Chains A and B, each alone.
Chain A
Amino acid sequence: MNEEIIIAGFGGQGVLSMGKILAYSGVMQGMEVSWMPSYGPEMRGGTANVTVILSDKRISSPILKMYDTAIILNQQSMDKFEKFVKPGGLLLYDGNGITRHPERKDIEIYRVDAAEEAAKMQSSKTFNMIVLGAYLKLRPLVEMENVMNGLKKSIPDRHHHLLPLNKAAIERGGEIVKEVSGV
């Protein structure tokens, strides 16, 4: 198993922390992992992306050109990364703010309206966990128990009372994700 993922969106959407939680979940599951952010002047409003690799072997390059999965959360990232999904790979996106929808026919395309759902849950911060839940539904690489342990590990103790809300968001993501087009 070797899953190479790019998560891309606006800074402030929780792109990096979602990647971190996924990486920690992989560690809990006993996998090799790497988490490589685009670091720099990104902050709220700018673009941010992170490459996460989950593997059962030693990971070579943490920097990649092509990905098994792209999780795309804004239009700029769609423009940049749609073409870098490997043929047969997965593109998962949030439709909010997307004006040009993905067009490729050689990849699986799924959509999760996480921003809308987060608003319904009255907690905009659950946004990235809804997206993560959608991803894990499509690629169940890590068990829920390990995801929760990963989550515990990557958020500070003072926020641990939010774990049930995050769990609900992950589960909700799995329920609302829908197929746009297959291969």
Chain B
Amino acid sequence: MKGNEAIAEAAIRCGVDGYFGYPITPQSEVMETLMDNKPWETTGMVVLQAESEIASINMLYGGAGCGKKVMTSSSSPGISLMQEGLTYLAGAELPCLVVNVVRGGPGLGTIQPAQSDYFQAVKGGGHGDYKLIVLAPASVQEMSDFVELAFDLAFKYRNPAMILSDGMIGQMMEKVEMKPFKPRWTNEEIAEMHPWATTGKPASRERNIITSVELDPNAFERFNLKLQAKYKTIQENEVRCEMINCDDAEYLFVAYGSSARICQKAVDLLRAKGIKAGLLRPITLFPFPTKQIQSLAGNLKGILSVELSMGQMVEDVRLAVGQSVPVEHFGRVGGVIHSPEEVVEALEKKIIGG
């Protein structure tokens, strides 16, 4: 199954209520697969091709406000169009899932894979002090598994979640074990589990208001502080990462998604040469595995941040370890994908030789 198909299949199985999207390469298979499966005939899930990305994200705003599990998927230029909606969703504290199957930018760019939307995903993208929960799958299996995980986290913290994938993971096929079907929530379940949702006002409570506007500066400062406290809780509790050959590593790759797969092979190639290399793969990009990287730093001679970008995540790696270990960046861009051999050479040149 392709990564994009796995997203669609997982969405149906985990009881998503609505998908609103607009086609763009390299993720068009998400909506194609949904349309093929016709889940509106089985689970009752709505699948709708909106007139634009801007319409899609605002349909999410409406659906999420009702406490429904709603999602969209797009690729870089489409995700840029959604930024206003995303900051509104974050400001209104609404859970939803946005999948970004990243392609090379800037601009309309290329349809080939890239990881150059890291800043946009992790540091904001829209205006205001907000964060998305960002998951980075490195396999088709994780494309499938992270749909449910993203919704769990999104609802737990009432916050939009993003799956930050790329054209490589979206287009490749691997074996996948799908989870069993879960029914969609009933309206009663939603009203009980999510008392904030606009499910119709009973006599027993005040109106629920979903909004991101607050004109009283003092009240809005308090709201902002509350948001920050939430992000701190997420940072403390939800970091996920995978460590491969890190125990005795002298040289560390930090890489997520497709680059992590390439680095895994690079680790094997380096180990075969007798060089003690390891890989730390962030699975959550926000929250970033800062402490986990710090815990390894003492034994390291150098870190190479490998990303299909000109160097974005490398800033967070540097923030984690400060001046204690040399940190360099390597990455091909514009849709070109680095080979494991190139990554090995980069480590040898920039870290071991440098």
Residue numbers of A with Cβ under 8 A of B are 20, 23, 27, 32-37, 39-41, 59-66
Contact = CB atoms under 8 A, between A and B. Distances in A.
B265 A60 contact: yes
B262 interface: yes
Contacts of B339: 61, 63-65
A36 B174 CA distance: 9
Interface stretch (B124-132, B164-172, B182-190): B164-172
Contacts, number: 63
B222 interface: no
A143 to B, nearest CB: 18
Interface of B: 25-26, 111-112, 167-168, 171-175, 258, 261-268, 337, 339-342
B171 A39 contact: yes
Contacts of B173: 20, 23, 33-36
Nearest to A16: B173
Contacts of B25: 39-40
A38 to B, nearest CB: 9
Given A34-B173, A40-B112, A63 B268 contact: no
Residue picked from B112, B265, B266, most chain A C-beta under 10 Å: B265
Contacts of A40: 25, 111-112
B307 to A, nearest CB: 15
A37 B171 contact: yes
Nearest to A65: B339
Contacts of A27: 175
B112 A61 contact: no
A36 B171 contact: yes
A153 to B, nearest CB: 11
A26 B156 CA distance: 40
Given A39-B26, A40-B112, A62 B175 contact: no
Contact of B264 (A32, A61, A65): A61
27 contacts: A27-B175, A32-B175, A36-B171, A36-B172, A37-B171, A39-B25, A39-B167, A39-B171, A40-B25, A40-B112, A61-B261, A61-B262, A61-B263, A61-B264, A61-B265, A61-B340, A62-B168, A62-B172, A62-B174, A62-B261, A63-B168, A63-B262, A63-B337, A63-B340, A64-B339, A65-B339, A65-B340
Contacts of B261: 60-63
A60 B342 CA distance: 15
Nearest to B244: A60
Nearest first, the 3 closest Cβ-Cβ pairs linking A and B are A60-B264, A61-B265, A65-B339
